[in-house]
Structure 1
Amino acid sequence: MTDPSSPAHDAAPACYRHPDRATYVSCQRCGRPICPECQTQAAVGVHCPECVREARAAAATPGARVARALRPGRSIVTYVLMGLIAVAYAIQWISGQALTSAWVLNPTLVGAEPWRLLTSAFLHSPTAIIHILFNLYALYAFGPALESFLGRARFLALFLITAVGGSIGVLAIYELAILTDGAIIEATGGFLSPSSALGASGAIFGLMGAYLPLRRAIGVNVTQLLIVLGINVVIGFVAGGIAWEAHLGGLAVGAAIGTVFLRTRRREQRNVQIAAIAGIAAALLVVFALFVASAPAYYGL
C-alpha cells in the first residue's frame, strides 16, 4: 500500500518518453503524459510522437487520400446530420406535414412506434423557422470540435443516444401525468402538461452536456458555452411551446457519456468504454420499456 500523503503520491506525471520530465499535459488521442518536446500541436490539443506517426501512416494510404478528397474537413458526421435535418424539414413541407405526423414524438403512439424516439430529433416546427435555424447553428458551432476530438463513430453515438435521452425526458412528464391521474398538471398550473415534441434540441443539449466534463481535455473555454446553455435552459422554462424536458434529458445523458469518454480515454480501455456507452443506451431503453409496461393503453398498445 502507499501513503496518499507521501511526496511520491502527489508527484506530477512523467513524460512517457522522458521519465525525468514532469508534465500535466496528455496526448489527446492516447492519453499518455507528454513533455513539451514530445508535443505536436493538433486541431484540438496536442498529440504524442507515436500517435502522430500512426496518423501520418494512415493518411498515406490510397484509401485515406480518397476519403480526404470526399470529406468536408474533419467534420463529415456533423455536416451529414445537418443535411439530414434540412432534408427532413423540406420533406415535412413537401409532404403536407405527413412526415411530421409519422415521425413526431407523440407519447400516445410511441409504444407501438418506438422509432419516434429518434426520428423526432430530425423534425422541426413547421411554424417557426427559427427552431431549425437555431439547432443547425448550434450543431455547426459545437459539433466539429467534439467530432474531431471523439472521432466519427463516438460522436455519432453521442448525438443519437442523447436524442433518445431527450425523448425519454419528454415521456417522463407524460408518465408522471399518468401515475398521478393528471393531478400533477393541475398542481403545477399546467406547467407539467405532457405534449408531443420534435426537434434536435435534446441532442444539441447532449453535445453541450458532453462538453462540460471534456472541456479541459478538448482544450476549450466553456464560458460562452455556459452562457448559451444557461440562457436556453431559462428560455425553456419561461417560454411556451419549448420541450424543456427534452433539453434536460439530453443534457444529463450527454454529461454522462462525456464523463465516460473522459475516464476511458486510453486504448486499453476501449472495450470498457464501448460497454459503458452501450449500458447508457440500454438503460434508456429499459426506462422506455418500463414506461410503456406501466400503462400500455396510454402508449398506443
Structure 2
Amino acid sequence: MTHRDDAAPKDPASGRSDDHCYRHPDRTSYVLCQRCARTVCGDCQTQAPVGVICPECMAADRRTAPKVRRSRFGADAPVVTYGLMAVIGVVYLAQFVTQRLGFPILDALGIYTSGYTDLQHGVYEPWRMLTSALLHGSWWHVAMNALTIWIFGRALEPAIGRLRFILLLIASALGGSFAVALLAPNVWVLGASGAAFGLIGAWFVVLRTMRADVTPMIVLIGINVVMAFVNPMISWEAHLGGALVGAASMALMVRDQRRALKSRAAVWGMIAIAVACVVLASVVGALR
C-alpha cells in the first residue's frame, strides 16, 4: 500500500489536490492504486495480491483473465470411472436376465479362454480378451470390481486425464487376459479384475514416485493374493497380468511427466502394450 504525504501537488487540470479520490472528489484519501497511481477512497479500494487497486484496474483484470469453463459434472469429474461402473452393472443385469430366460447369449459371446486367440487350433476371436472384462459371474463379483474401480479411478482419472485413463483400463484388461492365456490356458475367465488390478498397480507406482508409504497397498495386494489362492474361482493370473501392465503403463506416464514431454509417448506406449498383449496371446496359442 502506498501513502502520499500531506504536501500533495495540485492537479493542474482540476485545480484540486491529488489527495482526493478520483471518483469522489469530496473525499480525502492518501492511498494510491498500485496499478495506475490514482488516489482511491475506502469505498473504491479493492484488495489484491499486489496491494490496493482501483475499480477501473479491477475491471480490466477481470476482462483479461482467462475464462474457465466447467462441465456440468465439474472440471475433474471422473466420468469414465462412473461410466465403466454403470456399464458393468447394466451388462451384468442383462446377463442375469438372459440366464434366467435360458439364453445366456452374453456369456457365450463375451467369455474368454486361450482357445479364442489360438491361430492354429481354435476360433480366432481376440476381442474376447476385452469383452470378457465387461461380464461377471455374480453380484458379489461385479460389486467388488466396481468398488475397486471407484476407489482408484476417482484418484487416477483426474490426475492423468480421460484418454490415458481409458487406455490404462484397456491395456490392463488385455494384460490380464494375456496372463490367463500364458499361465492358465484351459481356464475360462470373465470379469473386470484385470482392469481393476491395473488401477491398483498404477496407484502403487504413483505412491512410490511420491515416496509415500506403500504399506497399505502391499497389505491390500497381499490380501487379494491370499484370496486368489484360497478361492479357486478367482483368477490370480488375470490379477497379476493386469497389475503388471497397469504399473508399466503408469511408469511410462511418470517418465513423460519427469521429462516434461509434450508428446504422447505414454499414450503410444500403452497402445503398444495393448497390441502386444493380443499378439503375444496369439503367438502363445500357436506355439502350444
TM-score, normalized by length of structure 1?
0.65
For these two proteins, the number of residue pairs brought into alignment is: 214
Letter in 2 for 1:282: V
CA RMSD of aligned residues (A): 2.2
Comparing both chains, which one has the higher relative contact order based on Cα–Cα distances under 8 Å and sequence gaps of 6 or more? 1
Aligned twin of 2:280: 287
Task: Report the secondary structure of 2:116's partner residue.
Answer: coil
Provide the C-alpha distance between the structure 2 equivalents of 1:149 and 1:69, rounded to a whole number of angstroms.
19
Aligned twin of 2:174: 164
Provide the C-alpha distance between the structure 2 equivalents of 1:258 and 1:252, rounded to a whole number of angstroms.
10
**CA deviation string 1:171-220 (max 9, x = no partner):** 11245xxxxxxxxxxxxxxxxxx310011111111111111221155686
Query: For 1:99, which of 106, 123, 129 is the aligned residue?
Result: 106
Task: Report the secondary structure of 1:270's partner residue.
Answer: coil
Provide the C-alpha distance between the structure 2 equivalents of 1:225 and 1:206, rounded to a whole number of angstroms.
13
Provide the C-alpha distance between the structure 2 equivalents of 1:166 and 1:198, rounded to a whole number of angstroms.
10
Provide the C-alpha distance between the structure 2 equivalents of 1:77 and 1:104, rounded to a whole number of angstroms.
23
* Aligned 8 A contact 2:91 2:135 in 1: yes
Aligned twin of 1:214: 206
Provide closer, same or farther for how the CA distance between residues 174 and 287 of structure 1 changes in structure 2, counting only shifts above 3 A. Answer: same
- Cα deviation for residue 269 of structure 1 reads 4.8
Aligned twin of 2:242: 250
Provide the C-alpha distance between the structure 2 equivalents of 1:268 and 1:200, rounded to a whole number of angstroms.
31
* Aligned 8 A contact 1:103 1:120 in 2: yes
Query: For 1:85, which of 84, 88, 104 is the aligned residue?
Result: 88
Q: Give structure 2 stretches of 5+ with no counterpart.
A: 1-64, 119-123
Provide closer, same or farther for how the CA distance between residues 201 and 69 of structure 1 changes in structure 2, counting only shifts above 3 A. Answer: same
Aligned twin of 1:197: 189
Aligned twin of 2:127: 115
Letter in 1 for 2:272: G
Provide closer, same or farther for how the CA distance between residues 254 and 105 of structure 1 changes in structure 2, counting only shifts above 3 A. Answer: same
Provide closer, same or farther for how the CA distance between residues 281 and 155 of structure 1 changes in structure 2, counting only shifts above 3 A. Answer: same
Aligned twin of 1:124: 136
Provide the C-alpha distance between the structure 2 equivalents of 1:279 and 1:82, rounded to a whole number of angstroms.
26
Letter in 1 for 2:154: P
Aligned twin of 1:272: 265
**CA deviation string 1:43-97 (max 9, x = no partner):** xxxxxxxxxxxxx84x62xxx44xx115696110100010110011011012222
Aligned twin of 1:16: none
Provide closer, same or farther for how the CA distance between residues 238 and 158 of structure 1 changes in structure 2, counting only shifts above 3 A. Answer: same
| Percentage identity across paired residues of the two chains | 36
Task: Report the secondary structure of 1:69's partner residue.
Answer: coil
- Cα deviation for residue 238 of structure 1 reads 2.2
Provide the C-alpha distance between the structure 2 equivalents of 1:110 and 1:104, rounded to a whole number of angstroms.
12
Is 1:69 matched with 2:66?
no
Matches within 5 A, 1:128-139: 128-139=138-149
TM-score, normalized by length of structure 2?
0.68
- Cα deviation for residue 142 of structure 1 reads 0.9
- Which structure has the larger Rg over C-alpha atoms? 2
* Aligned 8 A contact 1:212 1:258 in 2: no
Query: For 1:141, which of 151, 157, 165 is the aligned residue?
Result: 151
Is 1:237 matched with 2:249?
no
**CA deviation string 1:5-60 (max 9, x = no partner):** xxxxxxxxxxxxxxxxxxxxxxxxxxxxxxxxxxxxxxxxxxxxxxxxxxx84x62
* Aligned 8 A contact 2:145 2:196 in 1: yes
Letter in 2 for 1:268: L
* Aligned 8 A contact 2:208 2:214 in 1: no
- Cα deviation for residue 223 of structure 1 reads 3.2
Provide the C-alpha distance between the structure 2 equivalents of 1:209 and 1:245, rounded to a whole number of angstroms.
14
Runs of 4+ in 1 over 6 A off after TM superposition: none
* Aligned 8 A contact 1:163 1:206 in 2: yes
Provide closer, same or farther for how the CA distance between residues 92 and 253 of structure 1 changes in structure 2, counting only shifts above 3 A. Answer: same
Q: Give structure 1 stretches of 5+ with no counterpart.
A: 1-55, 176-193, 296-301
Provide closer, same or farther for how the CA distance between residues 275 and 250 of structure 1 changes in structure 2, counting only shifts above 3 A. Answer: same
Letter in 1 for 2:206: L
